[in-house]
Amino acid sequence: GTRIIYDRKFLMECRNSP
């Protein structure tokens, strides 16, 4: 299947988005 890899920066941005 497709690999879904998220880096730290992206994950932290998701935390801060409304």
Partner 1 sequence: HPLLNRWALWFFKNDRSWAWEDNLHLVTKSDTVEDFWAMYSHIQLASKLSSSCDYALFKDGIEPMREDSRNKRGGRWLVSLAKQQCHSELDRLWLETLLRLIGESFKEHSRKVRGAAINIRAKGDKTAIWTRAAENQEGVLHTGRVYKERLGLSTKMVTGSQAHADTATKSNSLAKNKFVM
Residues engaged in binding partner 1 (CB under 8 A): 3-8, 10-12, 14-15
How far apart CA 9 and CA 13 sit, in angstroms, is 6
Q: Shortest Cβ distance from residue 2 to partner 1 (Å)? A: 8
CB of 14 to partner 1, least distance (A): 5
Which residue bears the tokens 């998701």?
Answer: 14
Least distance in angstroms from the C-beta of 9 to partner 1: 10
Geometric angle at alpha carbon 17, from 10 and 9, rounded to 5°: 15
